[in-house]
Amino acid sequence: MDNSSLKPIKKKPQPKWAILQVLNFVVIAVFVGSITYVAFNYHDTIGHASDSPSPITNMFFPLIVLWSGCLAYFFGFFGISFLDKEYLSGSPSSYGLNQLGDGDISSATSGATTTTTTTSTTKEEVGEAAITATNKSQDFPQGAGFRPSASTSTTTALEARNDTVICSDTKPAAATTASTEKQSDIDFAALADEELLEHLLDGSLKDYQLEKKLGNYERAVGVRRSLYSTILDQDLGLIPYTGYDYDKVFGANCEIVIGYVPIPLGIVGPLVINGEPIYIPMATTEGCLVASTNRGCKAITSSGGCCSVVMKDAITRAPCVRMPSAMRAAAVKRWVGQQEHYQKLEQAFNSTTNYGKLVGLEATVAGRNVYLRFNCMSGDAMGMNMVSKGCLKAIEVLENEFPDLILVAISGNMCTDKKPAAINWILGRGKSIVVEAVIPEVIVKSVLKSSVYDMIETNKQKNHIGSAMAGSIGGFNAHAANIVTAVFLATGQDPAQNVESSNCLTIMEYAEDMRSLHVSVTMPSIEVGTVGGGTHLPAQAGCLEICGVRGAAKGPDSSPGDNARKLAQIVGSAVLAGELSLMAALAANHLVNSHMQHNRKPQTTAAAADTTTTSSSSAGGIDAKAVVDSSSSSVGGGGGMRKNSSMPILSSTSAF
């Protein structure tokens, strides 16, 4: 703070305390004396009171006036003489001055007179006393999950952070002029990490500025870790941060970075999709998931592969606009439904992007609100930013036609993004695909360790009837979300969009030969992209490379969006493999037995581990669940978990 900006504190005129105290005694004496006089002369007073009919000449009137004046004084001024005169002499504006730096206080008082300096000191003491009293009154009792830190003083107050940039801001909020000038004089990159930590703790440097001030992103992350290790009084050593390309993260994927979280990455395949063998990376912490999906891939590939097709490709955004009346809202719906008006909106929308293309628009009226669900092809990007920008341009056209139109929100929740919604299940969002395969009976028995009849019946009772009884929307499957999320994490997709991307209907029925298993998954709302978002990060880009869909589609025979559509088919095919394997395990009641053996920390000796490795190798590449299932004597035999006695026997040799 500039010392010249502080003005000397002037002494204000003080009340005449001595006069007030003398006046107090005079008023008390008059009041008590008048009461005493009336008490001793009560009978004479009553006799004389009736002599004069006028209230003014009545002798009671002067007494009433006298007592009223005394009472007014008592209520207005009497109590002031009992207050702390030194406390009152301190101006309330001095509260908090003790929180300024010592240099600021000394410079502020040095320019004042001797009397002013004495008064300022008194005010500072009063301010300290008031702040101490306030802190004592706000000492909250321990409880409700709060535990005071051993390194934190009882008088230290935690303040809310107000230094974090907002994502929508193109530039950080401007700091005060004094703070900016102070920072501009410091070369933070030349300071040691310990000095940077001191600046962070005293507020002269904000933690979100570290990357910009230092230029070295990894060092910035390291200094920020030291800051939060101090604030939290915890060691962050378990969270790694070195060796990561933060240059790709800063300004794109994450803010206030303190490291990264490694997730185990597995791979399944080959899975033959439309005649092409593909390996699929999966990032997960759930044991047996990769092994189980790999068994499904083996069953599908051994059966000749699966076929997949994209039926619809359109990301959606549904702005909410508000009209003065429901009649005007209906007029908007009619207007956008006319072909010539739609073309105006289409032209405006398409002018905002080289790859985006408006392919449809549905308007839904709810009272005075109109929800405009724009459908947009977005090339190889997932497309949320693209469609949002196009919607804003189209809204400008509507505002010209309807000046009373008000844009409530660019997203009115009829899109619907990252939330369960029947509209995605019915109309689709992103890529709508279907994948199918025919698994011969011999593969069902040898690889999946189940039977066609058992799998069909279990799928009907569980995925169809069970999900219907639960009132499920898009959940007519065994565990599609498991595979979708694992592939999303590996390939840099938005994991929150697993909500709608996992909408899946799994159907199992007899094939045309009445012996083989026909299985299909219908997924109407897979939201993926191969450019943008997290797809440019090194590890995620490497996983896309494994699938053969990294970046935008290129080549003379390619079209914008080919890679994204292929990735959606890969996700759906992996879901098909996962559904096959899990349903087989459920039908044969091998699921729990498999997880108990392979999803727990090993407790065996090294010799036992070698034995397990040998048995896995002899299984010819079959995954963990297949190895467990092969230990059963036969399909539905007694090697695995026994079925509940109330369950019917589903296996029937007479069915084949």
Start-to-end Cα distance in the chain: 90
Whether the pLDDT of residue 107 is over 80: the answer is: no
Residue 579: which CATH number?
A: 3.90.770.10
In tens, the pLDDT along 120-176 reads 444 444 444 444 444 444 444 444 444 444 544 444 455 555 555 555 444 444 445
Q: Which of 366, 385, 414 is the last residue of a domain?
A: 414
120 shares a domain with 39: yes
Q: Which has more pLDDT, 10 or 67?
A: 67
> In the prediction, which pLDDT does 178 show?
53
> In the prediction, which pLDDT does 48 show?
55
- Output the furthest CA–CA distance in the chain (Å, rounded): 131
Whether the pLDDT of residue 610 is over 80: the answer is: no
Judge whether 292 lies within some domain.
yes
Whether the pLDDT of residue 438 is over 80: the answer is: yes
**Sequential DSSP letters for 86-109:** HHHHS-GGGTTGGGS-HHHHHHHH
Q: What is the crossing angle of helices 562-587 and 538-547, to 10°?
A: 80
579 shares a domain with 554: yes
In tens, the pLDDT along 240-253 reads 999 999 999 999 99
* Percent of the chain residues past pLDDT 70, beyond the cut: 68
Instruction: Give the range among 85-99, 197-211, 350-364 with minimum mean pLDDT.
Output: 85-99
Whether the pLDDT of residue 236 is over 60: the answer is: yes
pLDDT band of 185, cuts 50, 70, 90: confident
Instruction: Give the range among 98-102, 302-306, 380-384, 636-640 with minimum mean pLDDT.
Output: 636-640
User: Across residues 565-587, what is the average pLDDT?
Assistant: 97
Q: How far is CA 525 from CA 103, 309, 505, in A?
A: 64, 13, 12
Tell me the C-alpha distance between 541 and 561, whole Å: 17
371 shares a domain with 275: no
Structural domain tally of the chain? 4
Tell me the C-alpha distance between 591 and 596, whole Å: 9
> In the prediction, which pLDDT does 31 show?
79
User: Across residues 318-337, what is the average pLDDT?
Assistant: 97
Instruction: Give the range among 55-59, 497-501, 539-543 with minimum mean pLDDT.
Output: 55-59
Judge whether 420 lies within some domain.
no
User: Across residues 78-88, what is the average pLDDT?
Assistant: 53
User: Across residues 76-86, what is the average pLDDT?
Assistant: 56
Residues with Cβ within 8 Å of residue 430, at least 6 apart in sequence: 313, 314, 315, 382, 500, 501, 525, 526, 527, 528, 568
Q: Which has more pLDDT, 628 or 138?
A: 138
> In the prediction, which pLDDT does 563 show?
97
Tell me the C-alpha distance between 557 and 540, whole Å: 26
Q: Given its phi and psi angles, is residue 564 left (phi above 0), alpha (psi -120 to 50 degrees) or beta?
A: alpha
Whether the pLDDT of residue 261 is over 90: the answer is: yes
* Percent of the chain residues past pLDDT 90, beyond the cut: 60
pLDDT band of 182, cuts 50, 70, 90: low
> In the prediction, which pLDDT does 137 show?
44
> In the prediction, which pLDDT does 26 show?
82
pLDDT band of 205, cuts 50, 70, 90: very high
Does the reported pTM lie above 0.75?
no
> In the prediction, which pLDDT does 157 show?
52
Q: Which has more pLDDT, 316 or 10?
A: 316
Instruction: Report which listed range, 12-26, 59-73, 85-99, is most confident.
Output: 59-73
Judge whether 379 lies within some domain.
yes
Judge whether 444 lies within some domain.
yes
> In the prediction, which pLDDT does 593 show?
65
496 shares a domain with 434: yes
Instruction: Give the range among 108-117, 156-165, 605-614, 645-654 with minimum mean pLDDT.
Output: 645-654
515 shares a domain with 621: yes
119 shares a domain with 92: yes
Whether the pLDDT of residue 109 is over 60: the answer is: no
Q: Which has more pLDDT, 133 or 430?
A: 430
Are 447 and 622 spatial neighbours (Cβ–Cβ below 8 Å)?
yes
Instruction: Give the range among 42-46, 405-409, 511-515, 581-585 with minimum mean pLDDT.
Output: 42-46
Whether the pLDDT of residue 270 is over 90: the answer is: yes
Judge whether 409 lies within some domain.
yes
**Rg of the chain's alpha carbons, rounded to an integer?**
40
**Sequential DSSP letters for 37-64:** HHHHTHHHHHHHHTT--STTTSTHHHHH
User: Across residues 259-263, what is the average pLDDT?
Assistant: 96
pLDDT band of 457, cuts 50, 70, 90: very high
SS3 label, residue 366: strand
486 shares a domain with 579: yes
258 shares a domain with 269: no
> In the prediction, which pLDDT does 57 show?
55
> In the prediction, which pLDDT does 17 show?
66
358 shares a domain with 287: no
Are 635 and 454 spatial neighbours (Cβ–Cβ below 8 Å)?
yes
Q: Which has more pLDDT, 47 or 354?
A: 354
Tell me the C-alpha distance between 393 and 410, whole Å: 11
> In the prediction, which pLDDT does 52 show?
54
Q: Is the dihedral of CA 77, 83, 86, 87 positive or negative?
A: negative
> In the prediction, which pLDDT does 597 show?
62
Active site residues: 286, 418, 494, 595
Judge whether 136 lies within some domain.
no
User: Across residues 305-315, what is the average pLDDT?
Assistant: 97
> In the prediction, which pLDDT does 38 show?
75
> In the prediction, which pLDDT does 108 show?
43
Whether the pLDDT of residue 102 is over 60: the answer is: no
Q: Is the dihedral of CA 468, 471, 473, 477 positive or negative?
A: negative
Q: Which has more pLDDT, 528 or 102?
A: 528
Whether the pLDDT of residue 361 is over 70: the answer is: yes
Instruction: Give the range among 10-19, 398-407, 456-465 with minimum mean pLDDT.
Output: 10-19
* Position 145, amino acid: G
Q: Which has more pLDDT, 280 or 609?
A: 280
Whether the pLDDT of residue 223 is over 70: the answer is: yes
**Domain of 111, in residue numbers:** 1-130
* Position 368, amino acid: R
577 shares a domain with 447: yes
> In the prediction, which pLDDT does 97 show?
44
> In the prediction, which pLDDT does 33 show?
81
- Peptide bond preceding 172 in cis form (omega within 30 of 0): no
453 shares a domain with 504: yes
> In the prediction, which pLDDT does 468 show?
97
The C-alpha torsion from 522 through 523 and 524 to 525, rounded to 10°, is 180
Residue 340: which CATH number?
A: 3.30.70.420
- Peptide bond preceding 416 in cis form (omega within 30 of 0): yes
Judge whether 606 lies within some domain.
no
Judge whether 650 lies within some domain.
no
Whether the pLDDT of residue 639 is over 50: the answer is: no
537 shares a domain with 439: yes
pLDDT band of 285, cuts 50, 70, 90: very high
Residue 248: which CATH number?
A: 1.10.3270.10
Q: Which of 113, 130, 147 is the last residue of a domain?
A: 130
> In the prediction, which pLDDT does 418 show?
95
Q: Please state, rounded to an integer, the average pLDDT across all residues of the chain.
A: 79
Q: How far is CA 143 from CA 147, 234, 506, 546, in A?
A: 7, 21, 49, 52
